[in-house]
Amino acid sequence: MVELGVALGTIAPYYNLAMVVAVIWLFIALFKTPPKAKVFLFPWKLLFFAVIVFVIEEVLTVTRSAGVIDIPIHINAFFELVIISVFIYALLLQKEYVSKKYG
């Protein structure tokens, strides 16, 4: 059973990168909405930025596990801090927008 966990831990970054392709495609479809639709897109642009940071983090993880680069694993904490901060900021922006528009 330990081998299964090690195998999943090794291959998980590859699956993450494959799944994020679908997420990026959905973001592109969202950003193609007509301007007259009056959609508040700024929080979604911030989330797209967070997804791009996640892709950079995963690429670094894959290249580190393949032995291509040698960087400390602590760099992942910086990327995760950026992602979480952007998520919180986008959520607060959306909350403010909704309360001003509908509240």
Q: For the segment 58-80, what is each residue's pLDDT rounded down to a tens digit?
A: 999 889 988 899 888 889 899 99
What's the confidence (pLDDT) of residue 38?
Answer: 82
pLDDT digits (tens, 9 = 90+) for 10-54: 788 888 888 999 999 999 998 998 888 788 899 999 999 999 999
| Contact of 16 with 60, CB cutoff 8 Å | no
What's the confidence (pLDDT) of residue 80?
Answer: 95
What's the confidence (pLDDT) of residue 29?
Answer: 92
Report the predicted TM-score, pTM, of the whole model to 2 decimal places.
0.84
Which helix or strand (DSSP H or E) is residue 34 part of?
none
| Contact of 63 with 75, CB cutoff 8 Å | no
Write the CA distances from 44 to 6, 13, 17, 61, integer angstroms: 35, 24, 20, 25
Average pLDDT, the chain: 90
Q: Where in the sequence is the domain holding 68, given as residue range(s)?
A: 2-102
Number of domains in the chain: 1
Non-local (6+) Cβ contacts of 101 within 8 A are none
